[in-house]
Structure 1
Amino acid sequence: MRGRARALPAHGEPPPPRRFHAWSTLTPVASMPVIWLTFKIMTRVSSAWSIRWFRYVWGAGALSGLGAEIGELALPSLALITLGATAAEASWVRAAMLAPFLLVTLWFGVIVDRRARRPLMIAADLVRGSVLVLVCLLGLTGRLTVPLLVAATAVLGTMTVLYQLSDFSFLPRIVPERYLVDANAKVAATQSAIQIAGSGVGGALVQALTAPVAVVVNALGYLLSALLIGRVRLAEPRPDTPERRSALAEARTGLRTLVRHRILRTLATEAALWNLGNEVFMLALAVHMLDRSAAGPVVLGLIVTCGGVGAFLGSVSSTWLTGHFGYGRSLLASLVIGNTAPLLGVTVAALVPAWAVPALSAAFLLSGAGCGVANSQATSIRQIAVPEEVRGRANAGYRLASWGALSIGALLGGAFTTLLGTVAAEAAGAALMALATLPVALSSVRHVRTIEEVAHRPEPRVPVMDTVSPRE
């Protein structure tokens, strides 16, 4: 994945929580066909699926992802319904979840490069599961408060950053380079299906069993994920760190590697511009739809769900497209289609209001499909384009750049929506998303046929000849 926001579904690295929960309008029954189709596609014997350890890691990601999607609805419901939190207090819960993505990403990148990744993933899952169990117990006994929930979500967000960075660097250890696109496509497709189904399941659990009990299901997903990761019996050598420097110096090395690498720099620029525009676009669209009629939440949910379906279809076709058309051409084509579709949808909706819902639904379907293809491809190339010993730090820098654009986009979205109105703000955000394709279109990435062409290869060591004459 490219490290994009998930309003239009994205990438094999699961991102921070969504701003809106419109998908909760789907029922679990309606989601069952998606889950069944995902399982059938994922379990076909293919290049990546034939690797036993990948199946464990994929299963762990699916379980923790489904739990997180349930938590997306359960935690806000816990704050607003169980604790009676105000809107301002609920915003602190969300801010506590997102803040670690800006505050600790670079430093965790250093830790990931210094240590074995599998124990870090297990520890992150165990901490997240334990914290959620504690939150449930406090909620059921009436001892949970908003400050305690804010602290708990801050821990959850922090451990999520650690897990995602570790997972990104761990996958290339268990999957050969030639299978990475297939592996990341399977991960991205599964995450897209989970996005479609998870919130519906979460809504049903909150409705039927109350929010604290739904939180336990979230915790169970993390604990089962830790169990599966623990079953991966892979010798993971300690990273090669011949000289230990300060964490700040090592973080700078990761940023420098990102900036100097022409392809990673291009992908990071594209992702940051897309996130910036997407945040503006989604905020304005949500305000527009929710103010439009009483059915606004349902309509918004259906539109966004089309993005999830598109992302699923794009993810499962990514490997085939890459094999037939090459990495660069399929990436560029998916970006042109996916990044431009929202602007076309907004334009049609503004010119012919009666077609607004069909136009936006089609735009989200196409944009989701483009994201599904591009995210699995971009993730694969990011995993092998830099030396393993700096992979975690380079990815941390990438994510900081791409996700840092979200906070700026949130501010711009509010300002644009207030000053220009919802339609103009939607158009401005969609235009930024379309412009995000330019860095890739103008770069050499479009000429890459296979990701192996840009894979980092360690320089061969030249033997040092003894120039001193032997003693007589």
Structure 2
Amino acid sequence: MIGLRNPGLGRNFNRFWTGESLSHFAVQLGAVALPVISVDLLHASESQLGYLNAASTAAFLVLGLPAGAWVDRWFKRPTMIWANLVRGLAISIVPVLYLAGVLELWHLYVIAGVVGIATVFFDVSYQSFIPMLVGPGQISRANSRMEATAQLARLAGPALGGLLLKVVSAPLLLIADGLGYLASWGFLLVTRDHEAEYRASRPPRERRNLVVEIREGLGFVLRQPAISRITLASLLSNFASTATYTLVPIVVLRLLGFSPFEYGVIMTLGAVGGLLGAAAAGRVTRRVGTANAVRFSTLAGALAVFCYPFAMLLGDKATQFVVLVVGAFIGNSAILVYNVTQVSLRQRLCPPHLLGRMNASVRFIVWGIMPVSSIVAGWASQSMGVGSFLWITAGLGTLAFVPLWRLHRHIPA
């Protein structure tokens, strides 16, 4: 696996990578816990599950644009340190409330909202941080290594988490999430980057109005032809996939009747595809070109989502299981090729001083649609039925291919 074998990214990158690896693995241990808490323990309806997903992503819609301008003014590493501390403490409240016997669904809404706010600042900083750790020629390798490690965590975490749910309650498993964020926090404390040197090498910039800086970042995204097309494709894809994945816990755990452990196994086997996709992204890009890698991974990921409504038509549980695993495998593989390739491309095309605002603007557009999609999924699936709604969202996802049709014309050689 190329992303994991190649040395030479530097000691500080390795510290950052180690912290994020521990964080990803710990968080994935609890990845299966939240759906089990909401669906099995608190008996959430489709609309309530939509509200929960909306709470976790609403911050990207509300704070996405100003966060980018703020992050461009701030140093990235301290921002991530504080964000991880907040996330670790907030998620640890869930097992405390459960042990006190007072855990309710509205608590999850509030905690998801707090974690979402911290995640906005972490993610915008994170996507702007890699170029401050490694040289321009190593950005793709660094992103590939980070994504491959995240997929290794997704490979082992959910199945082990589902197995642990046989002996511990789901809320207690979220202790792993808190510890994971705190592990990343600790490694960030000892990581050193080149942002101070980069800032010192640039002429001092006059502090401008926040609205002006937001407009500059958003304008760059909308005017840069390759980034604008990728952003539109991601917007369409995220609307459709978020609507689908909002309902996946209800489909798998309630309608198809799989156990939490089986749900975790499906996630784990699907993550094998993600691991292969992350590790092979660089090779795929070199073989078929950046534009084709972005285009066809988008299409493959959209087609894989059809596995969920299709599985609901089948009567045999073993066949349903295979269909879900194959769909998750293909979908995760495609998503990781897409993410590694398009993030690396955006980082190469954007001037360093605009990275925070560029990433925040992209996140505002493509993640800001997610709370809307989650609420629509909850309401629409209750009125027309989960199966019918999932066929519609799967079809909508294929439209993400359209903006990318002529992407190759806008990527410099």
Q: Where on the TM-score scale, by shorter chain, does this alignment land: which range?
A: 0.7 to 0.9
Cα deviation for residue 230 of structure 1 reads 1.9
Map of 2:391 onto structure 1: 427
Cα deviation for residue 414 of structure 1 reads 4.1
Distance in 1, matches of 2:248 and 2:108, equals 30
1:158 corresponds, among 117, 120, 127, to 117
Map of 1:257 onto structure 2: 220
Contact 2:54 2:375 in 1 (8 A): no
2:79 corresponds, among 120, 127, 140, to 120
1:193 corresponds, among 140, 146, 152, to 152
Map of 2:182 onto structure 1: 223
Structure 1 residues 116 and 338 mapped into 2: Cα distance closer, same or farther (>3 Å)? same
Distance in 1, matches of 2:100 and 2:26, equals 23
Q: Does 1:62 align with 2:26?
A: no
Distance in 1, matches of 2:285 and 2:174, equals 39
Larger Rg: 1
Q: Does 1:408 align with 2:367?
A: no
TM-score (norm 2): 0.82
What is the identity, as a one-letter code, of the residue corresponding to 1:314?
Answer: G
Greater RCO (CA < 8 Å, at least 6 residues apart): 2
Distance in 2, matches of 1:423 and 1:79, equals 20
Secondary structure of residue in 1 paired with 2:17: helix
2:403 corresponds, among 426, 436, 439, to 439
Secondary structure of residue in 2 paired with 1:104: helix
Structure 2 unpaired stretches of 5+: none
Structure 1 residues 422 and 216 mapped into 2: Cα distance closer, same or farther (>3 Å)? closer
Q: Does 1:179 align with 2:138?
A: yes
Cα deviation for residue 273 of structure 1 reads 0.8
1:170 corresponds, among 114, 125, 129, to 129
What is the identity, as a one-letter code, of the residue corresponding to 1:166?
Answer: S
1:340 corresponds, among 294, 303, 315, to 303
Contact 1:314 1:372 in 2 (8 A): yes
Q: Does 1:398 align with 2:398?
A: no
Deviates more, 1:202-211 or 1:328-337: 202-211
Structure 1 residues 199 and 289 mapped into 2: Cα distance closer, same or farther (>3 Å)? closer
Secondary structure of residue in 2 paired with 1:367: helix
Map of 1:34 onto structure 2: none
Deviates more, 1:85-94 or 1:148-157: 85-94
Cα deviation for residue 56 of structure 1 reads 1.4
Deviates more, 1:173-182 or 1:67-76: 67-76
Distance in 2, matches of 1:144 and 1:168, equals 34
Q: How does 1:17-416 map to 2 (within 5 A)?
A: 43-44=4-5, 46=6, 50-74=9-33, 87=44, 95-132=54-91, 151-205=110-164, 207-210=166-169, 213-237=172-196, 239=199, 242-282=205-245, 292-295=255-258, 303-343=266-306, 345=307, 358-414=322-378, 416=380
Contact 2:299 2:398 in 1 (8 A): yes
Q: Give percent identity, aligned residues only.
A: 28
Cα deviation for residue 64 of structure 1 reads 2.1
Aligned length: 405
1:11-53 C-alpha deviation (Å, 9 max, x unpaired):
xxxxxxxxxxxxxxxxxxxxxxxxxxxxx87652x15x54222
What is the identity, as a one-letter code, of the residue corresponding to 1:388?
Answer: P
Distance in 2, matches of 1:223 and 1:231, equals 13
Deviates more, 1:129-138 or 1:310-319: 129-138
Cα deviation for residue 387 of structure 1 reads 1.5
Structure 1 unpaired stretches of 5+: 1-39, 455-472
What is the identity, as a one-letter code, of the residue corresponding to 1:261?
Answer: Q
Distance in 2, matches of 1:421 and 1:79, equals 20
**Aligned alpha-carbon RMSD (Å):** 3.7
Deviates more, 1:267-276 or 1:362-371: 362-371
Contact 1:135 1:144 in 2 (8 A): yes
Contact 2:162 2:265 in 1 (8 A): no
Q: How does 1:443-458 map to 2 (within 5 A)?
A: 443-444=407-408, 448=411, 453=412
Structure 1 residues 158 and 206 mapped into 2: Cα distance closer, same or farther (>3 Å)? farther
Cα deviation for residue 123 of structure 1 reads 1.8
Structure 1 residues 133 and 169 mapped into 2: Cα distance closer, same or farther (>3 Å)? same
Structure 1 residues 95 and 415 mapped into 2: Cα distance closer, same or farther (>3 Å)? closer
Secondary structure of residue in 2 paired with 1:436: helix
Cα deviation for residue 124 of structure 1 reads 1.6
Secondary structure of residue in 2 paired with 1:259: helix
